[in-house]
A and B are shown apart, each in its own frame.
Chain A
Amino acid sequence: MRSQNKQLFLGLYALFVALGLTPPWLAANDSVLADGAQPVQWRLIWKEDPARTATLSWNTSAAGTSHQVHLREEGTDEAMLVAAQRNGRYTGESPELYYHHTELTNLKPGTVYHVVLESDGTKSPEMFFVTAPAEDVPVSIMFGADSRSGLEERRQMNAMLASMVAESYQAGRVPILALAHGGDYIRSGTQLDQWSVWMTDHELTVGPDGRLLPIIPARGNHDMGEPFNEVFAFPAQEQTNYYALNIGPQVRLVTLNTETSVAGDQTDWLKAELETSRPANRWLLAQYHKPAFPAVKPPWINLTHWVPLFERYNVDLVCEGDGHNIKRTPPIRNFAIDPTGVVYIGEGGLGVGQRTPKTDRWYLRPPHAKTGSEHHVQLLTFDEQKITYRVILLGGKLFDEHHLPARTPEQRQAP
């Protein structure tokens, strides 16, 4: 009997090893960092009022002692020095990496700022960014999610985003101001080496002329752990990661977090936020990771907690990630197609392999809905009359275009 037991366990052990595949810690890691205090992996983060504030962050592979930003408003010669307010070592052993966050405040709306990052006397190339406008002018943002795998596609997508932004600033076009990222940046949020690769790849969103693409981050289910807060300059140990900001005076974007309690304080916060922001904004959007109206997976708990609020406050558009496909639903109210309802888009294609949408679901059936399975980003353009929604595939092809009319003044009043 003892030998039977032994055989059983040996068999189990052999199968376990056979199932081991590639150990996760041996997965692809091609993060290359410059030595010492050379600023690398820069990113511009929008979390509050992007017309007047921004967070400029970068990393170094040595702790250093002095970290600052040379900030110069376009049209002036004098640069202002702004010291990084938060510096520290990332959580995680490898690679040895230090973050530096500079909160830029009192900026002027719709203004170009040139920046040079400096750590212990070592400087980055000069780059620039544009603050959000104070006037009610047409603006665009991009929405994308799920860049945790398909690293080559992720890099190609990032390069495409930079081109799209550069083109959008040509005369007669509506400028793309930011990228709203719906989460799942990397595979395992606790593994710093993966974040390091992501941040290096994110540099590809900087245009050849040095234009920084602001990112508005949402947390995904693969982004658990403290590095998310450190990468995007959230307070240490922050679990909430939900916030709202205006991109121009009439576009309000609410970023929610499906990875913390959905039914608790967040829903109360969302209700208060929508109550205030609905009457004050022509366009009201939300972004988060796990979908309420999924194209592939089962719905998340936000279906019962957030969707009623979206409908009650007549949110215009909701951006979702996680499903790895392209999705645009018809306007939905009370689980039925309704012209006054809420449109759900997204599902994520910034690199991750694509799934097949389940078009037998009532809210995904053509011609009212449009779905697909290619790497993509969603481009949202806001003007006085409509939101123009476009899906741009990797390579630049237009996959879908749709227009959403503005809500009537009555619909914009809080109930």
Chain B
Amino acid sequence: MATMTRDKTIESSKLWQAIVWTLRITVVVQCLGNWRWLAQIGESPLLSLIVEPRDVCGLAWSEATGLTIQQSAGWLVLLAGFFVMLRPCAAVLGPLCLLQLLFAVAMWHTHSGYTPQASWLPPQFIALFPLATQSARIAAPLALLLLDPWRAKRPLSESRIRLACHLSLVAIALTFFAHGIEALEHNAEFVDLLIVSSSRLLGNALPQANCETLLTIIGGLDLLVAVACLVPRFRSILWWMAFWGAVTALSRITAFGWESAWHAAATRFPHLGLPLAVVLHWHLVRWIPPEAVDPTESA
């Protein structure tokens, strides 16, 4: 009974609404980015997976079919984003989550994305790297599906909320860990992001060597917070992750301009939204009135 009270307290709080809306906005922005990517720019790992021949693990469908599927997926994603804004439901969030998963699988199969230079790792594990880099993008609609399901019995069970939180945390940690590896290895795209952004924002391009030193620091920090967010639950770490997720997403725009790169920032919105949702939840748990806590839990 006390647990039920606690759950009701959680879901009736403004902070709970803030968490849910953080996730909803995250998924909507992600949808906008994916729409632009799939329907307008038109080159994605999904298309590669569809048109690549079978000898390289593709489906060997025609380019016209691939483009039609990709375009249709783009417009459906836009529609899904609209529904998420109105009223998220499993029928929309499930496919969105699967689409993100499909992107990662397509990147894995077509060897898109960054290849870590870890020669000590078997190549098949290196090929799976996109699943880590994409994990926050996969987890955002899934977390929303768990926390804000339409027509589910209310209040939501504590185990369900805990599952959403744990899943989000693992996804954030994986994302930061993978990007930390890329930064430590001085991923050329990151180097160029720093060079071009510094040139545009400061008027002077940072030398490549300085950018690489910066990336070593950034990479180390990413790995540190990826581990720290899982072990001792310091809220400040998640605030930092949300801030850094926003900075890195926006760096696409500062480097390449709004028109060319807003979709790249939008698809990375979960790097900001997911840690923000989790840290808000931690604040919420901390702020629940003592009378709402199940006395048997502390025992």
Contacts and interface: CB of A to CB of B under 8 A. Distances in A.
A1 B160 CA distance: 8
Of B115, B145, B160, B199, most buried by chain A (CB within 10 Å of CB) is B115
A297 B42 CA distance: 8
A150 B105 contact: no
A226 B117 contact: yes
B126 interface: yes
Interface string A345-368: 000000001011000000000000
Nearest to A153: B53
A28 B188 contact: no
Interface in B117-159: 117, 119, 122-124, 126-127, 145-146, 153, 156-157, 159
B172 interface: no
Interface in A1-60: 1-2, 5, 8, 11-12, 15-16, 19-25, 27-28
Contacts of A262: 188, 192
B115 to A, nearest CB: 4
Interface stretch (B13-21, B205-213, B239-247, B270-278): B205-213
Contact of A353 (B52, B156, B260): B52
Contacts of A297: 43
Interface string A163-202: 0000000000000000000000001111110000000000
| Max chain B Cβ within 10 angstroms of own Cβ: one of A24, A27, A296 | A24
A22 B195 contact: no
A225 B115 contact: yes
Nearest to A299: B260
Most chain B CB within 10 A, of A224, A261, A304, A353, is at A261
Contact of B98 (A15, A21, A225): A15
B63 interface: yes
Contacts of B188: 239, 259-262
Contacts of A259: 188
Contacts of A239: 188
A264 B211 contact: yes
A336 interface: no
A27 B192 contact: no
Contact of B55 (A21, A149, A226): A149
B59 interface: yes
B56 A148 contact: yes
Interface in A250-271: 259-265
Could you tell me the dominant secondary structure of chain B's interface residues?
Answer: helix
A69 to B, nearest CB: 28
A149 B54 CA distance: 9
Nearest to B98: A15
A304 to B, nearest CB: 8
B281 interface: no
Contact of A1 (B55, B122, B157, B211): B157
Interface in A280-299: 296-298
Contact of B127 (A15, A188, A264): A188
B115 A189 contact: yes
B288 interface: no
Interface in B11-64: 41, 43, 49, 51-59, 63-64
Nearest to A148: B56
A261 B56 contact: no
A187 B111 contact: yes
B285 interface: no
B111 A222 contact: yes
Contact of B51 (A1, A225, A353): A353
Nearest to B112: A221
A190 B114 CA distance: 12
B108 interface: yes
A151 to B, nearest CB: 6
Interface of A: 1-2, 5, 8, 11-12, 15-16, 19-25, 27-28, 91-93, 148-151, 187-192, 222, 224-226, 239, 259-265, 296-298, 301, 304, 353, 355-356
21 contacts: A23-B124, A24-B57, A24-B109, A24-B127, A27-B56, A91-B119, A149-B52, A149-B55, A187-B110, A188-B127, A192-B123, A224-B115, A225-B115, A226-B117, A239-B188, A261-B211, A262-B188, A297-B43, A353-B51, A353-B52, A355-B63
